């Protein structure tokens, strides 16, 4: 079999590229638009989550101050400040990783992409499956404590227990069903595709002269 002149055909594609080229002004306008990549979406989500978390913590700090401006406030304030500092540190590191992901080699970038996306999916699941029910129970406790001050301890515990028994299974079922669908819909397919691409990449790397069969990405 003769070796086809792929390079000559390829050189012709440069002429073809010229016909597609838009003006530099148009190109710059296109580049300034919002990215549609899954990591950019995660980047924006993390940023929004952090802004809202800080606003919530500020609100909580003010609420604690109004309740007690003594030593209890300072304990809470120090705790909140620590939480804000840690969450910002984690957030900035995460965002820096996202920004750098495209500038690495193809293999490293794929690995990093999968690590970030996988980590984000796990984080979302933890948030939905564990933090939300805990938040619900904390809400019940706060609600019960803010109720009638004449209630006895056993009555308060009864209210909390009833709320938990009735609400938690229902809440868990709804969260589990919808969040699973949502995560699968938004992140599931890209995550699966990326993993397949990396697996194939590594398989070929370990067997560079292997046979020609295999599934196409």
Partner 1 sequence: MESFKNIIDEYYPILYKIGRSFTNNRSDFDDLYQEMLIQIYHSLNGFRRESKISTWLYKVALNTAMTYNRKNKKKKREVQSDDMSLWDHQDDSTDTAQERDMEVEMLYDAINELKKDERAMVLLHLEGKQYDEIAQIMGISQSNSGVRLMRIRKRLQSILIRKGYERS
Residues lying near partner 1 in the complex (CB under 8 A) are found at: 1-7, 9-10, 12-14, 16-21, 24, 27-28, 30-39, 99-110, 113, 189-190, 193-194, 197, 200-201, 204-205, 208-210, 212, 214-217
What is the DSSP-derived secondary structure letter of residue 211? -
Using the minimum distance from each CB to partner 1, give the nearer residue, 71 or 208.
208
Spatial contact of 39 and 98, defined as CB atoms under 8 Å apart:
yes
Question: How far is residue 128's CA from residue 123's CA, in Å, rounded to a whole number?
Answer: 9
State the nearest-atom distance from the C-beta of 208 to partner 1, in Å: 4
State the nearest-atom distance from the C-beta of 114 to partner 1, in Å: 10
Using the minimum distance from each CB to partner 1, give the nearer residue, 46 or 194.
194
State the nearest-atom distance from the C-beta of 107 to partner 1, in Å: 3
Spatial contact of 145 and 156, defined as CB atoms under 8 Å apart:
yes
Question: How far is residue 34's CA from residue 21's CA, in Å, rounded to a whole number?
Answer: 21
Using the minimum distance from each CB to partner 1, give the nearer residue, 100 or 158.
100
Using the minimum distance from each CB to partner 1, give the nearer residue, 17 or 165.
17
State the nearest-atom distance from the C-beta of 119 to partner 1, in Å: 16
Using the minimum distance from each CB to partner 1, give the nearer residue, 39 or 46.
39
State the nearest-atom distance from the C-beta of 20 to partner 1, in Å: 5
Question: How far is residue 119's CA from residue 117's CA, in Å, rounded to a whole number?
Answer: 5
Spatial contact of 197 and 110, defined as CB atoms under 8 Å apart:
yes
Of 214, 104, 127, the C-alpha closest to 114 is 104
Tracing tokens 């148009």 back to the chain, one arrives at 26
| C-alpha neighbours within 13 Å on the C-beta side of residue 214 | 13
């Amino acid at each position: 079999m003769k070796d086809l002149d792929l390079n000559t055909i390829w050189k012709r594609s440069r002429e073809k590229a010229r016909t597609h080229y838009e003006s530099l002004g148009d190109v710059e306008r296109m580049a300034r638009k919002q990215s549609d990549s899954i990591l950019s979406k995660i980047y924006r989500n993390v940023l929004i989550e952090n802004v809202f978390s800080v606003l919530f913590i500020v609100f909580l700090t003010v609420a604690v101050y109004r309740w007690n401006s003594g030593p209890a406030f300072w304990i809470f304030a120090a705790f909140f400040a620590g939480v804000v500092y840690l969450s910002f540190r984690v957030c900035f590191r995460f965002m820096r990783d996202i920004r750098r992901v495209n500038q690495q080699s193809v293999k490293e970038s794929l690995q990093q992409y999968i690590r970030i996306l996988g980590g984000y999916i796990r984080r979302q699941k933890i948030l939905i499956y564990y933090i939300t029910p805990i938040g619900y129970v904390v809400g019940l406790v706060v609600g019960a404590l803010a109720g009638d001050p004449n209630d006895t301890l056993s009555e308060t515990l009864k209210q909390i227990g009833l709320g938990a028994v009735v609400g938690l299974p229902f809440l868990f079922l709804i969260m589990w069903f919808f969040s699973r669908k949502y995560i699968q819909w938004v992140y599931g397919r890209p995550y699966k595709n990326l993993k397949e691409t990396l697996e194939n990449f590594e398989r070929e790397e370990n067997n560079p002269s292997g046979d020609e069969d295999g599934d196409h990405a």
